[in-house]
Amino acid sequence: MPNLSLRDLDDATLARIRSIARRRGVSVNRLILETLRRQYGARTRDYDDLDTLAGAWTKAEADEFDAAVAPFSEIDSALWAAQPKAAYRARARTRRKARR
């Protein structure tokens, strides 16, 4: 494996790297390697979004999904009527005048 040499590394940065390595219980070399691999290494697809599903559903599947989530957009007015108005009304703030 090739070696890499760092030049002109300031004392404050080196001190911080050493401190982090000591806190994690690894060598400075190991810390730098892990940081470089995490930042610039080969990327794997471990996204936590739904991009892979975009455009993957059939029309029937999309319609079924829409029908399943439709009740979530309905407002049950009986639930709101059962709550006292103070529970969902924001209080108006009053300003007190500063005494001079």
Q: pTM of the entire structure?
A: 0.43
Contact call for residues 12 and 22 (beta carbons, < 8 A): no
How far is Cα of residue 14 from the mean position of the Cα atoms in its chain?
30
Contact call for residues 28 and 18 (beta carbons, < 8 A): yes
What confidence score (pLDDT) does residue 34 get? 92
pLDDT tens column, 39-91:
888 776 666 677 777 777 889 998 999 999 999 888 877 777 766 666 556 66
Q: Helices marked H in the chain — which ranges? A: 11-24, 28-40, 59-69, 77-82, 85-88
